[in-house]
Chain A
Amino acid sequence: MDTETQRKWDAASRTLDLFAWGDDHRLGPHKRRLFSKICGATLMVAAGTGNDFKFFPPDQHIVAIDISPQMLERAAKKAAAYQGTIELHVMDVCELPFADASFDTVVTVCTFCSVPKPVVGLRELYRVLQPGGQLLMFEHVRSKIGPFGIFLDLMTPLARRFGPDLNRDTVGNVQKAGFRLRREENMYLDIVKIIEAVKG
């Protein structure tokens, strides 16, 4: 377990929900649309405080993991309010204890901006997905537009101390991990994206 990352997100858990209202209203409908594609055994990586549980379709059984115990403490109440079942587990995405091909769907929301070794984590997701299983991601990435990209690079050393990196190439990392891209959609400029990928 990466205890340094764990400590950082334990600390961030105190303020995470404070920043959620605006993005929930701005981006929530897009998350709901993405999550409507969930099917079969589902793993949610980096559940955080459970703020995105409300966008899940009802009647699913979802295993939700996070590296931070304090995040999951806050998520427990939201998991209990979900009209289905959500199991919460403290886990590092880079060291998943699940057997190969355990899940049909993996969901992430602003996760691979924060995992210190993103390709290692994505390879673990590839391993635990069934052949043909889907990876549904709602992520922010580095912009390829000059002035935005430069600024995100400049801000990343500061942002990384308290939260996520701002300049990740998550689309490239998904492909490096072996996934086949099914869909990439810009949600806000070319920074907030829906990424859908398939194993195999």
Chain B
Amino acid sequence: MYFIIGDYVAGMLIGTLTALGVRAAVWPGMDMVIAMLVGMAVGMVIHLVLGLLLAPLLGIGTMIPAMMIGMYGGMFFGMRDSMAAGSRTLTAAATVGALFGAIVVLGIQIYDRALRGAVIDAGD
């Protein structure tokens, strides 16, 4: 239970900080391609720092969702912020970031359950 809750809290925190970081770095009207690249870079830095800080408490289970949230979330938030499409306030951007983080963690947990177990078992 500790790890399940911890994974969600970590995912939501990284999602929130990525959304806020991208909002600070990307402005409406910025070229969308540049905004995506900037968003990805911001997200990757945030996920690396937070991933390293949280890894002692949560292990590898926090690193993989963190990278997905940071890298892909950063790109999505960058696109959105360059178009000024939705999440007009910082609170709204942070909420969407947290929601994105939680959804990624959920998706990875479901995927992990599906993949877990023997791939090859020669039975000897």
Contacts and interface: CB of A to CB of B under 8 A. Distances in A.
Interface string A164-196: 000000000000000011111111111111000
Contact of A26 (B61, B71, B115, B120): B61
B56 A19 contact: yes
Interface core residue of B3, B56, B57 (most chain A CB under 10 Å): B56
A185 B111 contact: no
Secondary structure type dominating chain A contacts: mixed
Contact of A189 (B56, B112, B118): B112
B61 A148 contact: no
Interface of B: 2-3, 55-62, 64, 67-68, 71-72, 108, 111-112, 115-122, 124
A22 B56 CA distance: 5
A96 interface: no
A23 B57 CA distance: 8
A183 B123 CA distance: 8
Nearest to A21: B56
B60 A147 contact: no
A26 B124 contact: no
B122 A148 contact: no
A92 B24 CA distance: 48
Contact of B56 (A18, A27, A148, A180): A18
Interface core residue of B3, B56, B60 (most chain A CB under 10 Å): B60
Contact of B59 (A25, A184, A189): A25
A22 to B, nearest CB: 3
Interface string A11-32: 0000000111111111100000
Contacts of A147: 68, 72
Interface core residue of B2, B67, B72 (most chain A CB under 10 Å): B67
A187 B108 CA distance: 13
